[in-house]
Structure 1
């Protein structure tokens, strides 16, 4: 069993290997593969910046393979490989491993949220002091964050992942539980999602990508 607060709290970060033609495919349909990769690399960097100083344990889960060199320092981040046939199964496996290791408060995020700040993550872990679950709704109807204090495999079953129904389906699953809802945030999946972010737009405009 974990002895101190730092060892009892865990952040799971799900990420895709940043490879040309394999990330942000809906975004790439509008701006091209090279521009989509640049945007995703910037989103990864942002995710690193808002998580690296957080006083919890952190595991980064790669989609394809664990690279020999990346932006995540070994001192701050434990690197793992996602396991499962779909997103739900992969998340469920990650949570299961976390709880089997003795963690008591586990939160998962993706790596495509330019809105996400360190305070959002602190709020999520704090919420789990007096709630069993915490959920961060995304503008597109999904969720950008899920946290819990006990294994709950049913949250990852019978969902149409990457659809506008995921948040409401998950909330329905938790209707009898003590649940904290965080502020809505915008994840970057399409060109429309990134229009309001000057840094992201400048990233692709300066190279004539759009």
Structure 2
């Protein structure tokens, strides 16, 4: 008999259905968001006939805004210093459980139960600032930035990442978990930590 035991996730809900919504296979974000991003990009070219130069600038903007969104959510929502019992539970539900069990493969990418309402809310927010039809490629590249983040995050916890850049990103994120310091909220990029002075000490 093998001595290896199956990983037991931290249980967040007594209700089986609600508990199931907190777990996700790592491929699900790709299967969900890649077709939507591809469709929006297809519409940008085939339907709206947007120029290549504009799409390139939109790509840079969409991915850059994702990195800022990632930073803001991680720093100010997922590490919110809640005082009430409910507030502390909510922070634990969204992120604290990951810090208690960072190797849980079913909670390293965001489940659709969380990512879909967040993405819908952000779409309406961005549409206040990004005019049609540019909102479509902007959101497509924003989703691509999100997918890059999700799989970088998964890789930092489960793959060696020996490439110098990848190794730096892995080391940077693991220090967020294990250094005992606050900071290093950027996962896919340390850019906004550098901008806002939350990179911590050392590399």
TM over 0.5, shorter chain: no
Calculate the TM-score normalised by the size of structure 2: 0.24
Calculate the TM-score normalised by the size of structure 1: 0.24
Higher RCO (C-alpha 8 Å, min separation 6): 2
Bigger CA radius of gyration = 2
Higher strand fraction (1 or 2): 1
